[in-house]
Amino acid sequence: MNIKCLIVEDEPKAASLLEEYIHNISFLELCHKANNAMEALDYLNTAQVDLAFMDINMPGLSGLDLSDLLKGKLKVIFTTAYSEYAVQSYEKNAIDYLLKPITFQRFMQASLKAKEAIKLANKAEGKEESKDTIFLKSGKKIVQLNWSEIYYLEGYQEYVAVVTDHEKILVYKRMKEMEKLLPPQFMRVHNSFIVNITKVKKVEDNHIYILEREIPVSRKYKEGFYDGLQNNML
């Protein structure tokens, strides 16, 4: 299970530390860093996030205020330098409350609690974790593939091409819909491309080489892709 994360923190050093910790935990994926609550709200209007690491003391709207506005849309772990907010944070149904300075051990403990809470919530909503295979409906036929057989996906407006080493299967879905179904080894690298990171042959000059295809890495997805690549690099 890959948990999509958001950092909401107005202190650059604190935000950088949280980012470093997230990158060191394999099941966490950093989607965005927001400097304040309003920026976080704007981002969440268009993005799907599972977990927010949220500072309580911020100019304008506080983390507690932001949590009220989100109304349980995502799980929250509060961070603060002030211990007196502990009771209030748990009243907001926060997963955990991290007192600064935050150690990696304490951060990991909170992240594991979040992972378990999200897993239970998904189960209650009827969502299941990714299986080894997927069934693809292409025209009048249904094709079963192992995730490991898929090299990359390419979007064509209303369709997505699912590419293996020997065929291209057209599926009537948008890229955003497909992205939600994919296990963690698949990474978005461009508005039109999602790649299976285990199938990458070479990366050069912001281009990925898979099979005989050269796939561009766009600026929007560059940081996330290289971070994911770093986790699989010797």
Residue 234 pLDDT > 70: no
Q: What is the mean pLDDT of residues 63-90?
A: 84
Superfamily for 3-124?
Response regulator (3.40.50.2300)
Q: What pTM does this model have?
A: 0.55
Strand 51-55 vs strand 3-8: parallel, antiparallel, or unpaired? Answer: parallel
Q: Which two tokens stand for residue 46?
A: 């268009």
What are the sequence ranges of the domains in the chain?
A: 3-124, 133-230
pLDDT tens, position by position, 43-55 = 998 888 999 999 9
Q: What is the pLDDT of residues 186-211, one digit of tens each?
A: 899 999 999 998 899 999 999 999 99
Helices 104-124 and 12-23: angle between axes, nearest 10 degrees: 70
Residue 80, both tokens: 């603060």
Q: Would you give the distance in Å from CA 173 to the centre of its chain?
A: 20
- Reported as a single tens digit per residue, the pLDDT across 95-152 is 999 999 999 999 999 999 998 898 888 777 665 554 578 889 888 888 889 899 999 9
Q: Which of 13-22, 58-67, 174-183, 194-203: highest mean pLDDT?
A: 13-22
Is the domain spanning 133-230 CATH 1.10.1490.10? The answer is: no
Cα separation of 203 and 205, whole Å?
A: 7
Q: What is the DSSP string of 3-60?
A: EEEEEE-S-HHHHHHHHHHHHTSTTEEEEEEESSHHHHHHHHTT---SEEEEES--SS
Categorize the per-residue pLDDT at 21 as very low, low, confident or very high, splitting at 50, 70 and 90: very high
At 183, is the pLDDT very low, low, confident or very high (cuts 50, 70, 90)? confident
